[in-house]
Amino acid sequence: KQEVTQIPAALSVPEGENLVLNCSFTDSAIYNLQWFRQDPGKGLTSLLLIQSSQREQTSGRLNASLDKSSGRSTLYIAASQPGDSATYLCATQGGSEKLVFGKGTKLTVNP
Amino acid sequence: EADIYQTPRYLVIGTGKKITLECSQTMGHDKMYWYQQDPGMELHLIHYSYGVNSTEKGDLSSESTVSRIRTEHFPLTLESARPSHTSQYLCASRQTGVTEAFFGQGTRLTVV
């Protein structure tokens, strides 16, 4: 059974700092990995999708990498802003077609 | 912008009432999902559907039921609400293949 772990559980940084969020998974037989953002009391917003054949994806200040063989993905946020404060979730999708989520990293960017 | 909608956004209801949470998507996606999330906690899959007339139970046992009569519509029903059902319910959809999953804004349910 796939297990997804996100470290750290919470992170507080000053505005402008570059940061890395980590996601690890136990079963490397995934089709893709997706990063989401969740604001308090809201639904999930898709940030980046990395297919199993890809190594990384970029969108604006966000860059996600995937190392399937080692069961790891990272989300890099450049020049963080207070508006980036949210919980970031990663989820894997395998043959069962179900998304398996980590518990998330709660990010606070201080002005 | 994802075209997946959940109604109501917030619902406070008394114990024993029957409720239906609505989820609709206009993207023509074949797969739809319901997740349950308690405040500050992880998402748990409670139901999913691979297409019309297909429904399956998820990893977390739930007293709710779902139906998929139309591609775009995946309602969740609780026949008799209890305080233990208080939670946020999130609906998602995606198309078969390597595609993104999109989520609705969620329904926050409180049973008093």
Residues from chain B that touch A51, judged by Cβ atoms under 8 A, are: 98
Residues from chain B that touch A41, judged by Cβ atoms under 8 A, are: 88, 106, 108
Quick one: how far is CA B7 from the chain centroid?
10
Tell me: the pLDDT tens digits for A57-73?
Answer: 999 999 999 999 999 99
Tell me: the pLDDT tens digits for B31-73?
Answer: 999 999 998 888 999 999 999 999 999 888 888 999 999 999 9
- A41–B42 CB contact, under 8 Å: no
- DSSP assignment string, B25-81: ESS--SEEEEEEE-TTS-EEEEEEEEETTEEEE-SS--S-EE--SBTTB--EEESS-
In this prediction, residue B98 carries a pLDDT of: 63
- A46–B100 CB contact, under 8 Å: yes
Question: Residue B31: which of A34, A49, A97 has the nearest Cβ?
Answer: A97
- B101–A51 CB contact, under 8 Å: no
Q: Any chain A CB within 8 A of the CB of B48?
A: yes
Give the pLDDT mean for A16-29: 96
Tell me: the pLDDT tens digits for A84-108?
Answer: 999 999 999 987 778 899 999 999 9
Distance CA A83, CA A96 (A): 35
Nearest CA in chain B to A30: B98
